[in-house]
């Protein structure tokens, strides 16, 4: 939201109110003149009424019309109502430790008002319904953080007549992991991420995959996108020709469905950070397969030629622009036809969780698009 535009809109509203008030003032003056003329005419035809009587009648008419005129001026904005008053608005709960989204309630205002909340750390403005006590669900900003919310309180009858208050600090205390109610890790993967285990796999490996995904799934937007992408089948394959480092691959199988293959997934051979980065990257392909319109938005809003210096060219593939952190050698060695835009989106998703060499922040278009559309402004510590 543009603050300068807000100021312009507010100024225009005030000018319109003043113009409306001036128009009502002219109308009121015409009414008074008409009333005066009517009184004079009545005096001619009703000469029997005493001078004192006419004075009383005239006074009553003028007082009534004057009160009417004042009310019209107030409606026109020349005499606005007093600004809304609140008794130290407080956001409840004071500490958030449950899974997001969590609803915050703003209390302390007793008048008929409308609210909007300003979160300075993301620059967003979120409006709520007209209510004296209302609530909203804030986007997750980070796993553990203190935030203070600015509350704009405006009169319902006069939307530009506002006061601003600041709530006490709210502690977001989120450890970054949620637990599954199932005892079987395969059931947990299916319940929380719509991932179905294909073939055989040890509970140790399944638990590891689930825990890594749960650390990213605290960003509920990411978890929802992954879960609604259509069922994904996960397969563990030992194949020495694929090399070490826990390589992985996702293949779309139509209708938003995907198959995720994890090669040589050895918990002792691959560092945890490597496993997590590779896994998150591959989930980016799953999300792409299940949400093609979202992927097309990325191509037009967050991909090359925006952030041009963040990309390298590999003419063996199309699109040929890949974010610099992505290694095209595995796809080329395996004879896999990879896409620059597809791999770049998957990299932006992985880098948003585990940054590398200044990426993804050095690519603002792709980074901001991913932060908004994949993680709903969740920022990982």
- Indicate which CATH number applies to the domain containing 131: 2.60.40.10
Mean pLDDT of 106-118: 58
Higher per-residue pLDDT: 30 or 370? 370
Q: Are residues 106 and 199 in the same domain?
A: no
Q: Are residues 275 and 334 in the same domain?
A: yes
To which residue do tokens 């585990």 refer? 354
Q: Are residues 147 and 189 in the same domain?
A: no
Q: Are residues 258 and 368 in the same domain?
A: yes
Higher per-residue pLDDT: 64 or 310? 310
Within a domain: residue 179?
A: no
Domain count, the chain: 3
Rounded distance between C-alpha atoms, residue 372 and residue 287, angstroms = 15
Q: Are residues 102 and 135 in the same domain?
A: yes
Q: Are residues 36 and 99 in the same domain?
A: no
Q: Are residues 91 and 71 in the same domain?
A: no
To which residue do tokens 């000469």 refer? 47
Q: Are residues 191 and 112 in the same domain?
A: no
Top mean pLDDT of 85-89, 107-111, 282-286 is at 282-286
Look at residue 164 in the predicted model and tell me its pLDDT. Answer: 73
Q: How confident is the model at residue 268 (pLDDT cuts 50, 70, 90)?
A: confident
Tell me which residue range forms the domain holding 204: 185-373
Within a domain: residue 220?
A: yes
Higher per-residue pLDDT: 332 or 72? 332
> Burial level of 171, CB count in 10 A (0-12/13-18/19+)?
middle
> Can you give the three-state secondary structure of the chain, one letter per residue?
CCHHHHHHHHHHHHHHHHHHHHHHHHHHHHHHHHHHHHHHHHHHHCCCCCHHHHHHHHHHHHHHHHHHHHHHHHHHCCCCCCCCCEEEEEEECCEECCCCCCCEEEEEECCCEEEEEEECCCCEEEECCCCCCEEECCCCCECEEEECCEEEEEECCEEEEEEEEECCCEEEECCCCCCCCCCCHHHHHHHHHCEEECCCCCHHHHHHHHHHHHHHHCCHHHHHHHHCCCCEEEEEECCHHHCCCCCEEEEEEECCEEEEEEECCCCCCCCHHHHHHHHHHHHHHHHHHHCHHHHHHHHHHCCCCCCHHHEEECCCCCCCEEECCCCCHHHHHCCCCCCHHHHHHHHHHHHHHCCECCECCCCHHHHHHHHHHCCCCCECC
Q: Are residues 132 and 251 in the same domain?
A: no
Query: Which tens digits make up the pLDDT trace of 199-253?
Result: 899 999 999 999 999 889 888 899 999 999 989 999 999 998 888 888 999 999 8
Q: Are residues 166 and 192 in the same domain?
A: no
Q: Confirm if 373 and 219 have CB atoms less than 8 A apart.
A: no
pTM for this prediction? 0.58
Within a domain: residue 381?
A: no
Within a domain: residue 215?
A: yes
Q: How confident is the model at residue 269 (pLDDT cuts 50, 70, 90)?
A: confident
Measured in degrees and rounded to the nearest 5, phi and psi for residue 249 equal -150, 145
Q: Are residues 55 and 28 in the same domain?
A: yes
Look at residue 290 in the predicted model and tell me its pLDDT. Answer: 96
Q: How confident is the model at residue 278 (pLDDT cuts 50, 70, 90)?
A: very high
Look at residue 141 in the predicted model and tell me its pLDDT. Answer: 43
Please state, in angstroms and as integers, the Cα–Cα distance from residue 96 to each residue in 173, 250, 279, following that order: 6, 36, 29
Q: Are residues 130 and 276 in the same domain?
A: no
Mean pLDDT of 23-45: 57
Res. 175: pLDDT tops 60: no
Within a domain: residue 379?
A: no
């Amino acid at each position: 939201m543009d603050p300068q535009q807000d100021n312009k809109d507010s100024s225009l509203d005030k000018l319109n109110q003043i113009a409306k008030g001036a128009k009502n003032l002219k109308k009121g003056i015409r009414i008074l003149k008409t009333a005066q003329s009517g009184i004079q005419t009545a005096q001619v035809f009703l000469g029997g009424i005493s001078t004192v009587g006419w004075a009383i009648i005239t006074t009553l008419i003028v007082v009534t019309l004057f009160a009417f005129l004042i009310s019209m001026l107030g409606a026109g904005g020349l005499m606005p109502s007093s600004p809304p008053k609140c008794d130290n608005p407080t956001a409840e709960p004071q500490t958030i430790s449950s899974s997001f989204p969590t609803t915050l309630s703003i209390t302390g205002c007793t008048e008929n008002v409308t609210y909007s909340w300003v979160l300075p750390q993301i620059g967003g403005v979120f409006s709520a319904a007209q209510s004296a006590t209302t609530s909203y669900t804030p986007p997750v900003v980070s796993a553990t953080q203190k935030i203070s919310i600015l509350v704009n309180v405006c009169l319902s009858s006069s939307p530009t007549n506002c006061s601003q208050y600041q709530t006490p600090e709210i502690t977001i205390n989120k450890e970054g992991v949620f637990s599954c109610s199932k005892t079987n890790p395969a059931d947990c993967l299916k319940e929380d991420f719509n991932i179905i285990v294909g073939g055989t796999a040890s509970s140790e490996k399944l638990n590891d995959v689930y825990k890594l995904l749960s650390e990213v799934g605290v960003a509920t937007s990411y978890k929802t996108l992954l879960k609604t992408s259509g069922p994904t089948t996960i397969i563990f394959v030992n194949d020495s020709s694929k090399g070490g480092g826990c390589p992985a691959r996702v293949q779309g199988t139509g209708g938003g469905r995907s198959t995720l293959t994890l090669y040589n997934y050895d918990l002792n051979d691959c560092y945890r950070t490597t496993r997590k980065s590779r896994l998150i990257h591959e989930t980016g392909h799953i999300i792409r397969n299940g949400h093609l319109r979202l992927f097309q938005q990325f191509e037009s809003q967050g991909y090359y030629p925006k952030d041009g210096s963040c990309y390298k060219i590999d003419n063996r593939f199309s699109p040929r622009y890949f974010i610099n952190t992505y290694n095209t050698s595995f796809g080329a060695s395996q004879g896999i036809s990879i896409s620059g835009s597809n791999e770049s989106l998957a990299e932006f998703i992985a880098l948003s969780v585990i940054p590398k060499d200044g990426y993804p922040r050095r690519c603002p278009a792709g980074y901001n698009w991913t932060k908004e559309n994949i993680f709903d402004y969740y920022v990982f510590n």
